[in-house]
Structure 1
Amino acid sequence: MVLSSYDFVIAGGGTAGLVLASRLSEDSSQSVLVIEAGSDQSNNGQVKIPAFYGALLGGEADWKFTTKSQSNLMQRTVPLNQGKALGGSSILNAQVFAPLTQSIIDSWASLGNDGWDWASVRAFHDMSYTSPHIPEASRGTLGVGSLPTRDNSIPGPIRTSFPMEPHPIRRAWAETFEELGYLMPTDPSTHGSVGAFSNLATVDPISRERSQAANCYLEPIKNRNNLHILTNATVERILFEGKSTKAIGLQYHHEAMTPSVMARKEVIISAGAVQSPKILELSGIGNREILAKFGLDTVKDLPGVGEGLQDHLVVDLSFEAEEMLETQDSIMRQEPEAIQQAITEYSSDRTGILTSSGILTYAYMPAVNLLSGDGHQRLRTLLEENRPKKDNAKEQARALALYSIAEKALLDPHAPSGVYITSLGQNPLESDPVTGERTYKPLPGKHLILAGILSHPTSRGSVHIQSSNTLDAPVIDPKYLDNPVDMEVFAEHMLYLQSLASLSPLSKLLTQPPTPSRAISHLANLEEAKKYIRLRAVSMWHPAGTCSMLPEEIGGVVDNRLKVHGVENLRIVDSSVIPVLPPGNLQSSVYAIAERAAWLIKSEYGLK
């Protein structure tokens, strides 16, 4: 039963929201309510079994967002899958737990966010998870020979592991990059680190089930008397005291009713980079002109709301693999015998192909061909020619501040501008290059994907409401590749990535000579790489930055305590506050932000 008031009311029971719920309810004197639009999917086998994450996309647990048509991607609309369930996107992502990098976190602080440098953030990142024990004999195959052993004496809620160890892709990946001089020398979180490594996965090392916010943060404490979780309830707007800017509660929709709940201390918005700006705008917080367009009264004129959207694009190159390589192709083709064998292995001793999403290796890489000579000069010229120029002084200040960070990373040979991953099997999310519709037709044989991610996009988009109707999805316009720098850097990465397929020992896992699974994915030169990117690039589902943690004078929405500028008793805690994307997958960043936010809140109110 939902009470009329709580100390803390949290909009969104996703990755960040459940971290907050767990930590804030540790003090039994405080009452906490979480309002989640989705349901509890924790017992869903497609959530539990790591390899089945793709089956969740487009279903009940997915918001099924799509972007506005993108002019630089052949006018395609791009699916932006986001979790709609307890645990949010942690229940449907590909389970990659990518390390943060010191240089990016330090850049958050450099933008005017005191207390958000690496020295301050790392402890909260580390307290969110438990790393697996790495036997000495496995260090070589994992490409983590110098990785220091973490202190797990106080285990974090999220359990991580190296699924499918040993698998030949791990050693081949590590040894190939070692020959190139790009094997990760130590902890990937070290300042300026580039190179290859085996990535952790949010898969429990014992049960081999997905480790996510609902089963790790919420399940152990869900019976606390001071914690209430309301599912299948959609937050509509923030309530304010009279005509003031003091937030006092939330209005939400549940079972054909539209009740309200009051917050004695704070309202916390943890609805994600797409939904959080929508809730703010529907509540009268945002650009005055946008609000007026839809007949909404302005509570706080905050033009940064919904602006600054960043996302990672990914492009895959698929190659025919040797028959001996264990991949997920037969599962993707729905072959009954293969499915039965995989289920038997998983059920009997938690082994086999179902224990992983198929992503086992990672590399943080600079654009090698742009580091020196003519390539380096070409990059410098592009960066100068495409430096942001805005008419609005506040927009220009924000754009230039963010651009300078990306520029520094792109020019630094010790900072990643791209991420490379492998995936065991053909792409089950393949889409038609014209319509964007997912029209996957499985190929025979075995395949290995080498995928490239643009880790430091200079382009920025937006998320804004399209009406005052709470049921309408917002307009999502990432403006992918809007800055020509992004296309140039991305194309160079894709050409370099393709060249890896011919290098031993990675090439030994592929048919010889290396043969693209589909003829269209052979890239002969830079222009063909650009054409292929326009045809094939899709979202990694890493939206961020739409309620950026920045000073208000340069277009920020929250301050360094994650409080909304000029509004009392209102914080935002989710990926929307991230001012600059980390190089890899977002979930480790969101856990770190939520852990630090909980500490900030508890410190402010003197809670246990």
Structure 2
Amino acid sequence: MVAPKEVDVIVCGGGPAGCVVAGRLAYADPNLQVMLVEGGNNNRDDPWVYRPGIYVKNMQRDGVNDKATFYTDTMASSYLRGRKSIVPCANILGGGSSINFQMYTRASASDWDDFKSEGWTAKDLLPLMKRLENYQKPCNNDTHGYDGPIAISNGGQITQLAWDFVRAADAVGVPFNEDFRFLNVCIDLETSHGTEIWAKYVNRVTGRRSDAATAYVHSVMDVQSNLHLRTNSRVSRVIFEGTKAVGVAFVHSRNRAHKGELRETIVRARKCVVLSSGTLGTPQILERSGVGNSELLKKLDIKVVSDLPGVGEQYQDHYTTLSIFRVSNESTTSDDFMRGDKETQDKLFAQWENVPEKALLSSNLIDAGFKIRPTEEELKEMGPEFNKLWDTYFKDKPDKPVMFGSIVSGAYADHSLLPPGKYMTMFQYLEYPASRGKIHIQSANPYVEPFFDSGFMNNKADFAPIRWSYKKTREVARRMDAFRGELTSHHPHFHPGSPAACRDIDIRTAKQLLPNSFTVGIHMGTWHRPSEPYDASKVHEDIVYTEEDDKAIDDWIADHVETTWHSLGTCAMKPREEGGVVDQRLNVFGTTNLKCADLSICPDNLGTNTYSSALLVGEKAASLLCEDLGLKVRTPHAPVPHAPIPTGRPATISAK
């Protein structure tokens, strides 16, 4: 089909929020002409997308899968000991929902309430949370939806390591009970300290990833002709007549054929332009369009449409570190698959094709996790910087977790560099960092790299909670039955004589573990003979860390902390005089017919894996746009191709 030169609404960016907006609007009125412009490839029927268990491949920067754009700090950071952070952003239709870890959590109620914007409280948004969900886990509360387009389940398998993790976490003060699958620790709006089997964006019937493009875009394009998709097209700027947005200009995502010459295609918008290009993309489009700090725009010879100094400022993310441990050789992990063992790969791919509802590849192997808040005693050890943040931000909001933690049944690492064996990875996630960054264009040319400062760890308060969480997840690991020692290359470099020093097995012993001829264990830093099995029940005391040990952990954090792909905050929804960029209806200040609809609008952080929040912002934006256009959102949504989902609340709820 020939793409039209004029439509009613143009949505710039095909990430989760953009897919929701485009799909909902087009489905609401078959006569409304909607165009969705995406910089990456179409994700439709891409096996690298829809097979959940191979998501790690999409995170690699090897030129094979061109599914991400990589933003690197323009300048080295003294807070990272001279390192530059790298923040990958999805470059494919569906955005992060097509390549992410598929971990489903929700933000706490106070996160939304803290926006202090009419219509954006958790109570206001709950109906939209339910509208988007097809919740396929056992559940005993009414905060979930069962007829929406996004499937959420436990995936094909839950490994024994996950149950082992939950049991061990309880031993260090992170609780669960016999019916913990009903607690919904990570997906309700109130619980901030507890352990759970984590839900996944995986359809339990088909075993496929539940991405936003399949749910909201392809499903509409299959039954209607009013949704026009342009992929491999990078939006250069918004076209204004005065302060009214009347269209957009876009270029090919890769300027190879034109040898650097800028060739723009212009499409007119009769009713509205919606920017949904993400936290790092949307502010660049605004600035190239003349919306941003007037001093910067004048330096770049860009006509000022609206002077908004807040554009590109207050960049936020979630930070993660990971530590890797050895596990017993009988454990179910992804290591042989990731290592490239052909027999294992053939077996697991066949299993996924034949019995996806039970397949290991119908899972991300991130089966369990927790939210945690420190005790009064733990707070005393976390330093004055964090305690000040605690008193002003966390203390009176008990629904906010300070850290997330999760277990991966396998090593999240380059297996070609690892000794033989089986592993588990513990992730530590900082949910509300105090650090801030920024992004700004350096040219009106969309192919010129922007100035980017991730701001990672530039506030000292952020070190203490990550340090504390590392210790907590290490104690959980030591108490697991499957624990077989630490992979020292993926832990802090403690002094060898310290009681906190990590212990590993030598390469010769590791090779003997394949096949599993004996069990090697570690207890309180003392090696056992190969014939003596590890007994986690004997671990009663936590490791005691010295100031030198804490310094080693902080250095390790600075050297290894990285993004969780949860960028937000650069076009904040708050008053203009406070640095805001959009109002409560997502209108860009100083313009008309222009909205922003992605996580850049968040004025503060959200304690969650942010795919759920991006979908929710999209649903809210779709509702606001339908109100503006005199339309009504139609539900239930169009059926999802290739992914039949049982609708309605299950007749019986069983923990089995």
- Both proteins in one fold, TM over 0.5: yes
Alignment of 1:397-408 (within 5 A): 407-408=392-393
Specify the code of the residue in structure 2 equivalent to 1:77. K
What residue in structure 1 maps to residue 573 of structure 2? 549
What residue in structure 2 maps to residue 510 of structure 1? 483
Contact 1:308 1:546 in 2 (8 A): yes
Work out whether 1:132 is the aligned partner of 2:130: no
Work out whether 1:427 is the aligned partner of 2:412: yes
Work out whether 1:558 is the aligned partner of 2:582: yes
Contact 2:135 2:151 in 1 (8 A): yes
Match of 1:455 among 418, 427, 431: 431
- Classify the secondary structure of the residue corresponding to 2:452: strand
1:548-582 Cα distance to aligned partner (Å, 9 max, x none): 11111111111111111111111000111112222
Work out whether 1:175 is the aligned partner of 2:178: no
Specify the code of the residue in structure 2 equivalent to 1:129. E
What residue in structure 1 maps to residue 54 of structure 2? 52
What residue in structure 2 maps to residue 437 of structure 1? none
| Cα gap change, 1:164 to 1:516, in 2 (>3 Å) | farther
Contact 2:156 2:361 in 1 (8 A): no
- 215-224 or 85-94, larger mean C-alpha shift: 215-224
Looking at structure 1, the residues matched to 309 and 466 of structure 2 have their Cα atoms a distance apart, in angstroms, of: 30
- Classify the secondary structure of the residue corresponding to 1:316: strand
Contact 1:307 1:461 in 2 (8 A): yes
- Classify the secondary structure of the residue corresponding to 1:590: helix
Match of 2:141 among 142, 148, 151: 148
Alignment of 1:355-370 (within 5 A): 355-368=362-375
Match of 1:106 among 103, 113, 120: 113
Specify the code of the residue in structure 2 equivalent to 1:6. V
What residue in structure 2 maps to residue 394 of structure 1? none
Looking at structure 2, the residues matched to 520 and 60 of structure 1 have their Cα atoms a distance apart, in angstroms, of: 31
- Classify the secondary structure of the residue corresponding to 1:103: helix
Give the Å deviation of 1:296: 1.4
Match of 2:610 among 586, 589, 594: 586
Looking at structure 1, the residues matched to 297 and 200 of structure 2 have their Cα atoms a distance apart, in angstroms, of: 42
- Classify the secondary structure of the residue corresponding to 1:265: strand
Looking at structure 1, the residues matched to 143 and 394 of structure 2 have their Cα atoms a distance apart, in angstroms, of: 28
What residue in structure 2 maps to residue 252 of structure 1? 250
1:125-158 Cα distance to aligned partner (Å, 9 max, x none): 2211211142xxxxxxxxxxx85366655x1111
Give the Å deviation of 1:414: 5.2
Alignment of 1:373-388 (within 5 A): 374-375=380-381, 378-379=383-384, 384=388
Give the Å deviation of 1:70: 2.8
Specify the code of the residue in structure 2 equivalent to 1:237. R
Alignment of 1:432-447 (within 5 A): 441-447=417-423
Contact 1:369 1:492 in 2 (8 A): no
Give the Å deviation of 1:260: 1.1
Looking at CA atoms only, which structure, 1 or 2, has the larger radius of gyration? Answer: 2
- 413-422 or 184-193, larger mean C-alpha shift: 184-193
Contact 2:12 2:18 in 1 (8 A): yes
1:409-466 Cα distance to aligned partner (Å, 9 max, x none): 2675653111101111112369xxxxxxxxx623310001111011110111001112
- Classify the secondary structure of the residue corresponding to 2:404: strand
Looking at structure 2, the residues matched to 352 and 521 of structure 1 have their Cα atoms a distance apart, in angstroms, of: 35
1:265-316 Cα distance to aligned partner (Å, 9 max, x none): 1100000111100000001111111112222121111000000100111101
Looking at structure 1, the residues matched to 392 and 71 of structure 2 have their Cα atoms a distance apart, in angstroms, of: 30
Specify the code of the residue in structure 2 equivalent to 1:327. T
Looking at structure 2, the residues matched to 67 and 178 of structure 1 have their Cα atoms a distance apart, in angstroms, of: 39
Give the Å deviation of 1:6: 1.4
Specify the code of the residue in structure 2 equivalent to 1:196. T
Give the Å deviation of 1:193: 2.8
Looking at structure 2, the residues matched to 515 and 494 of structure 1 have their Cα atoms a distance apart, in angstroms, of: 13
Work out whether 1:190 is the aligned partner of 2:189: yes
What residue in structure 1 maps to residue 18 of structure 2? 17
Give the Å deviation of 1:327: 0.6
Aligned length: 555
1:466-523 Cα distance to aligned partner (Å, 9 max, x none): 22211123222111111111112221221222222222xxx10212xx4335374466
What residue in structure 2 maps to residue 607 of structure 1? 631
Specify the code of the residue in structure 2 equivalent to 1:527. K
Work out whether 1:261 is the aligned partner of 2:267: yes
What residue in structure 2 maps to residue 227 of structure 1? 227
What residue in structure 2 maps to residue 532 of structure 1? 556
Looking at structure 2, the residues matched to 520 and 38 of structure 1 have their Cα atoms a distance apart, in angstroms, of: 36
1:130-188 Cα distance to aligned partner (Å, 9 max, x none): 11142xxxxxxxxxxx85366655x1111111124342133223333334443367343
1:321-361 Cα distance to aligned partner (Å, 9 max, x none): 11121111111211112212211221221243322222111
Work out whether 1:239 is the aligned partner of 2:239: yes
| Cα gap change, 1:420 to 1:549, in 2 (>3 Å) | same
Match of 1:302 among 299, 308, 317: 308
Specify the code of the residue in structure 2 equivalent to 1:122. L
- 186-195 or 584-593, larger mean C-alpha shift: 186-195
Contact 1:310 1:461 in 2 (8 A): yes
- 328-337 or 585-594, larger mean C-alpha shift: 328-337
- Classify the secondary structure of the residue corresponding to 1:407: helix
- Classify the secondary structure of the residue corresponding to 1:359: coil
Contact 2:13 2:39 in 1 (8 A): yes
- Classify the secondary structure of the residue corresponding to 1:421: strand
- Classify the secondary structure of the residue corresponding to 2:487: coil
Work out whether 1:314 is the aligned partner of 2:313: no
Give the Å deviation of 1:237: 0.5
Give the Å deviation of 1:375: 3.3
Specify the code of the residue in structure 2 equivalent to 1:115. G
- 519-528 or 51-60, larger mean C-alpha shift: 519-528
What residue in structure 2 maps to residue 435 of structure 1? none
Looking at structure 2, the residues matched to 348 and 280 of structure 1 have their Cα atoms a distance apart, in angstroms, of: 48
TM-score (norm 1): 0.86
Specify the code of the residue in structure 1 equivalent to 2:627. S
Looking at structure 1, the residues matched to 414 and 420 of structure 2 have their Cα atoms a distance apart, in angstroms, of: 16
What residue in structure 1 maps to residue 448 of structure 2? 472
Looking at structure 2, the residues matched to 65 and 151 of structure 1 have their Cα atoms a distance apart, in angstroms, of: 35
Give the Å deviation of 1:383: 5.4
What residue in structure 2 maps to residue 395 of structure 1? none
User: Which blocks of at least 5 consecutive residues in structure 1 are unaligned?
Assistant: 135-145, 385-402, 431-439
Looking at structure 2, the residues matched to 429 and 264 of structure 1 have their Cα atoms a distance apart, in angstroms, of: 50
Looking at structure 1, the residues matched to 427 and 377 of structure 2 have their Cα atoms a distance apart, in angstroms, of: 19
Contact 1:124 1:596 in 2 (8 A): yes
Specify the code of the residue in structure 1 equivalent to 2:198. N
Looking at structure 2, the residues matched to 557 and 95 of structure 1 have their Cα atoms a distance apart, in angstroms, of: 30
Contact 1:273 1:576 in 2 (8 A): yes
| Cα gap change, 1:369 to 1:71, in 2 (>3 Å) | farther
Looking at structure 1, the residues matched to 491 and 172 of structure 2 have their Cα atoms a distance apart, in angstroms, of: 27
- Classify the secondary structure of the residue corresponding to 1:30: coil
| Cα gap change, 1:412 to 1:498, in 2 (>3 Å) | farther
Match of 1:494 among 447, 467, 470: 470
Percent identical pairs in the alignment equals 27
Specify the code of the residue in structure 2 equivalent to 1:49. R
